[in-house]
A and B are shown apart, each in its own frame.
Chain A
Amino acid sequence: MIARMRLAVGVLALAAGVSAQAEPPLPPPYAGAYQPQGVDEQGFWQKMDEEERRLAQSDMVIRDPALVGYVRNILCATVGEDRCGAVRPYILRVPIFNANMAPNGTMQVFTGLLLRVHSEAELGAVLGHEFGHFEARHTLERFRAARSSTDILAWAGVLGSLAPSYDVVRAYRNLEITLISSLYSFNRDHEREADRLGIAYLNNSNLRPQAAAQVWERLIEEYQADALSKGLKKPRLDRVPFYATHPPQVERATTLALLARPEAATRDDGAARYRAALAPWLPQLLDDQIKLNDFGASEYIIQSLAESGWTAPLWHARGELYRLRGAPRDLVQAAQFYGEAIALDPAHPEAHRGLGLALLKTGQAAAGQKALLRYLELKPDAADAKLIGMMIPKEVPAP
C-alpha cells in the first residue's frame, strides 16, 4: 500500500515536472546554403562530405525514387519546407530501428524504422528528432565535450603517475568514472533536447503530434514481447543504466505524450497513405526482419501491422516466420497462415511455395507437391525453380 502510494506520488511528480517544461523555441533554420563555421565544424563537415560520397554509392542504399521522395516529403511536412532543404535523406537496407543524421545534412533512415512506424506522423516524429540533433549541432557539441573530458583524463593520468600512491590511483579512478558518467548524461540530455525539438516541429506541422509517444509505446511492447519469447526477465525500460546513450523509453513516451499539443489530437496522422506508400516494399522489409531470427519481435511487428487488417503479405510473412523456426507445431501453423494468404490473394506465388514446403515437411507429400506445382506455374522463372522442381518427381526426369 505504502509502495503504491509512493509510486502514485512519483508519477505525479514526474507529470508535474514534465508539464513545467515549456515547448522549446525552434532554432533558426539553416539559412540558404549554410557554410560550416570554425575549424572543428569545417573539419567535421568535410569528413562527412567524404563519407557521403561513399554512402551515396553504397549497395545498402535503396534507390527507389518513389520511396525516397515519400520519406523526404514526410520530413518536409514535419519540419517545414524552409528547413528540409538542408537535408539529403538516404534509405539504408538495415533491419533495425534507427535513423541518424550527420552534421553536414546527410540523413540515414534504416528500413527497420520504416517497418516499425505505422503512419506519416510517427515517421515524422523520428525524422524530426534526428533533424533536431542537426539543427542544434549536437555532434559538434558532443565531440567537444568528449575532447575536454579525454584531455582532463590524459593530464590526470600523466600527472597522477608522478605520485603513484594508493590515494592518487583511487582519485584517478573516481575522476574517470565521474567523467564517463557525465559524458553519457550529457548525451542523454542531447537526446531529450532533440525529443523536445522533434515534438515542437510536429506540433507546428499538420500531422498529429500524439503519434510521437506511440512510436515509443510500441517499441516498449516489442522489447517486452521479445524478452517474453526468449524466456528472459521483463526488461526495465524506465531506468537509466550507467552507459545508456538515450533516456529510457518509458521516460521518452511519457514526455512526448505530455508535450504533444492536446488540441492537435484530431489531426490526420496519414496512416492510410503511409501503408499505401510502403506496400511495394513491405514484403522485403518483413523478410529482412524475419531473417534476424528474433521470433518474439517479428511476431509482435506482424501482429501490430495487422491491427489495421490482415493482408496476404502479412499472412505470408507470418507463415515464413513459423516455417523458418520449424518445430513440428510451427509447420502446422505455418501451413494454416499460408492458406490464409492464399485465400486473400490466390495468385501469391511465395505463399504457395511456403505452403508446399510446410506440407512436405509435415508428411503431406501429395498436397505439398500440388502447392509447389502451383508456385512454379505462377512464377516459372523463379530463382529457385530448379530446386523446387526436384521436389516434384514427375516434373523433372531423373538425371
Chain B
Amino acid sequence: MRQGFALPPQSGKTILVLRPSVRVAEQSTGGMAEPRAEWTDQARRHIDAALVELQRQLGNRVIAAPEAYGEDARLVAEHQALFAAVSRAVIEYQFFVGNRLPTKKRDNKAGQFDWSLGPDVAKLPGADQADYALFLYTDDQYGSTGRKMLQIVGLVAGVGVSSGVHAGYAGLVDLKTGDLLWLNADFQMGGDVREADGAMKRVRQLLEDFPGSTIAKEAAAPAATAQAKP
C-alpha cells in the first residue's frame, strides 16, 4: 500500500470498477487450458455481485465503468494494458524483496510503494464520478477428471502433478493522480468462482488487505501468498 494513504472505513468513497478480466477454463489431462464459456459467464456475474456486496460492507459505493466507444474505448484499453504491465512489475520487483529494480532499491528499503499509471486516468470515462478505480483480474483453470486421475496415479508413481490454476490480482488507483494505491496478487487463490459463494470467497480474498478493510482474514492463508508488505 502506498505510504501516507489511508481510507478510513465507512468513508463513503465511490469506486469505479473497470470491466474485470475473467477467464475460466478446464485443465485437460495434459495440462492445456480449455476455455469454458459457461463457467466464464457465471464467474463474471458472481464476481460483479460479490464486489458490490463487499464494498457496501466497507461503506464504499461501487459503480461499473460505462461502456465506452471510439477514443474513450481506446483510452480504457490502453489503461487496462498499462495497469497489467505495472502490476506485473510490482509483483515481480516489489513483492519479492531480493528482486528489486536497481532504480528503486534505495526507496524500497525505506518501505516505499511508489508506482503510478499517470494523471491521464482522470480522462477515463466515468472517472469524474468516482474517487478511485479498481482493476480486477482472475485466471482459473479447473482440473478435469482426467487431470485429477493423473494426479492420483502420479502420487503413487512419485511424480508431482499439479491440478488447476487459480491466479488473481486486484489494484486500486487514485483517479486524480493515477498513483497505484494498493495491489494484491495471489497465484493460489481459493473459492470456486463458478458459484456465488465461491466468488464471494474469491473477492473477499482479493480485497482482504483493501485499505480500510474490516474483512476478516481467512483462517489459513495459502503458503504461496505474495502481498504488498510495506
Residue among A146, A147, A154 facing the most chain B CB atoms (10 A cut-off): A154
User: What's the least CB distance linking A99 to chain B, in Å?
Assistant: 22
Judge if A240 is at the interface, Cβ distance under 8 Å: no
User: What's the least CB distance linking A152 to chain B, in Å?
Assistant: 8
Q: Tell whether, in the assembled complex, residue B31 and residue A57 are in contact, meaning their CB atoms are under 8 Å apart.
A: no
User: What's the least CB distance linking A70 to chain B, in Å?
Assistant: 22
Name A40's contact: one of B23, B34, B78, B150 (CB within 8 Å): B34
- With A57-B73, A162-B156, A162-B157 already in contact, the answer to whether A151 and B146 are too (CB < 8 A) is yes
B residues in contact with A300, CB < 8 Å: none
CA distance A59 to B78 in the complex (A): 8
Judge if A178 is at the interface, Cβ distance under 8 Å: no
Q: Tell whether, in the assembled complex, residue B40 and residue A46 are in contact, meaning their CB atoms are under 8 Å apart.
A: yes
Q: Tell whether, in the assembled complex, residue A159 and residue B30 are in contact, meaning their CB atoms are under 8 Å apart.
A: no
Q: Which of A159-202 contact B (CB under 8 A)?
A: 159, 161-162
Judge if A47 is at the interface, Cβ distance under 8 Å: yes
Q: Tell whether, in the assembled complex, residue A158 and residue B37 are in contact, meaning their CB atoms are under 8 Å apart.
A: no
Q: Which of B27-65 contact A (CB under 8 A)?
A: 28-32, 34-38, 40-41
Query: Which residue in chain B gives the minimum CB-CB distance to A44?
Result: B35
Judge if B158 is at the interface, Cβ distance under 8 Å: yes
Name A161's contact: one of B29, B73, B76, B157 (CB within 8 Å): B157
CA distance A44 to B40 in the complex (A): 11
User: What's the least CB distance linking B76 to chain A, in Å?
Assistant: 7
A residues in contact with B159, CB < 8 Å: 157-158, 161
Q: Tell whether, in the assembled complex, residue A47 and residue B74 are in contact, meaning their CB atoms are under 8 Å apart.
A: no
Q: Tell whether, in the assembled complex, residue B36 and residue A39 are in contact, meaning their CB atoms are under 8 Å apart.
A: yes
- With A57-B77, A59-B74 already in contact, the answer to whether A39 and B28 are too (CB < 8 A) is no
CA distance A40 to B34 in the complex (A): 7
Query: Which residue in chain B gives the minimum CB-CB distance to A49?
Result: B37
Name A158's contact: one of B34, B74, B150 (CB within 8 Å): B150
- With A44-B35, A57-B73, A59-B74 already in contact, the answer to whether A158 and B146 are too (CB < 8 A) is no
User: What's the least CB distance linking B150 to chain A, in Å?
Assistant: 6
Query: Which residue in chain A gives the minimum CB-CB distance to B149?
Result: A155
A residues in contact with B30, CB < 8 Å: 147, 149-154
Judge if A69 is at the interface, Cβ distance under 8 Å: no
Judge if B25 is at the interface, Cβ distance under 8 Å: yes
Judge if A58 is at the interface, Cβ distance under 8 Å: yes
B residues in contact with A153, CB < 8 Å: 30
User: What's the least CB distance linking A139 to chain B, in Å?
Assistant: 12
- With A43-B36, A54-B77, A57-B73 already in contact, the answer to whether A154 and B29 are too (CB < 8 A) is yes
Q: Tell whether, in the assembled complex, residue A155 and residue B29 are in contact, meaning their CB atoms are under 8 Å apart.
A: yes
B residues in contact with A155, CB < 8 Å: 29, 150
Q: Tell whether, in the assembled complex, residue B32 and residue A150 are in contact, meaning their CB atoms are under 8 Å apart.
A: yes
Q: Tell whether, in the assembled complex, residue B154 and residue A158 are in contact, meaning their CB atoms are under 8 Å apart.
A: yes
Q: Tell whether, in the assembled complex, residue A151 and residue B35 are in contact, meaning their CB atoms are under 8 Å apart.
A: no
Judge if B153 is at the interface, Cβ distance under 8 Å: yes
CA distance A150 to B28 in the complex (A): 9
CA distance A47 to B34 in the complex (A): 10
A residues in contact with B156, CB < 8 Å: 162
Residue-wise interface mask of A (81-102) relative to B, using a CB-CB cutoff of 8 A (1 in contact, 0 not): 0000000000000000000000
Residue among B37, B78, B157 facing the most chain A CB atoms (10 A cut-off): B37
Q: Tell whether, in the assembled complex, residue A43 and residue B37 are in contact, meaning their CB atoms are under 8 Å apart.
A: yes
Judge if A42 is at the interface, Cβ distance under 8 Å: yes
B residues in contact with A56, CB < 8 Å: 73
CA distance A158 to B37 in the complex (A): 30
B residues in contact with A158, CB < 8 Å: 150, 153-154, 157, 159, 161
Q: Which of A16-57 contact B (CB under 8 A)?
A: 36, 39-40, 42-47, 50, 54, 56-57
A residues in contact with B41, CB < 8 Å: 46
User: What's the least CB distance linking A201 to chain B, in Å?
Assistant: 29
CA distance A162 to B153 in the complex (A): 9
Query: Which residue in chain B gives the minimum CB-CB distance to A41?
Result: B37
Q: Tell whether, in the assembled complex, residue A57 and residue B37 are in contact, meaning their CB atoms are under 8 Å apart.
A: no
CA distance A143 to B23 in the complex (A): 18
CA distance A45 to B159 in the complex (A): 35
B residues in contact with A146, CB < 8 Å: 32
User: What's the least CB distance linking B28 to chain A, in Å?
Assistant: 5
User: What's the least CB distance linking A159 to chain B, in Å?
Assistant: 7
Q: Tell whether, in the assembled complex, residue B158 and residue A147 are in contact, meaning their CB atoms are under 8 Å apart.
A: no
- With A42-B38, A54-B77, A57-B73 already in contact, the answer to whether A147 and B32 are too (CB < 8 A) is yes
B residues in contact with A159, CB < 8 Å: 153, 157
Query: Which residue in chain B gives the minimum CB-CB distance to A61?
Result: B74
User: What's the least CB distance linking B25 to chain A, in Å?
Assistant: 7
Residue among A152, A157, A158, A161 facing the most chain B CB atoms (10 A cut-off): A158
Name B28's contact: one of A44, A151, A157, A162 (CB within 8 Å): A151
CA distance A146 to B30 in the complex (A): 9
CA distance A226 to B195 in the complex (A): 56
Residue-wise interface mask of B (189-219) relative to A, using a CB-CB cutoff of 8 A (1 in contact, 0 not): 0000000000000000000000000000000
User: What's the least CB distance linking B194 to chain A, in Å?
Assistant: 13
B residues in contact with A43, CB < 8 Å: 25, 34-37, 40
Q: Which residues of B contact A (CB under 8 A)?
A: 23, 25, 28-32, 34-38, 40-41, 73-74, 76-78, 146, 150, 153-154, 156-159, 161
8 A-B pairs besides A39-B34, A151-B146 with CB distance below 8 A are: A46-B41, A143-B34, A147-B34, A151-B29, A151-B30, A154-B161, A158-B154, A161-B157
Per CB-CB distance, the 4 closest pairs between chain A and chain B, nearest first, are: A150-B30, A43-B35, A57-B77, A46-B37
Q: Which residues of A contact B (CB under 8 A)?
A: 36, 39-40, 42-47, 50, 54, 56-59, 143, 146-147, 149-155, 157-159, 161-162
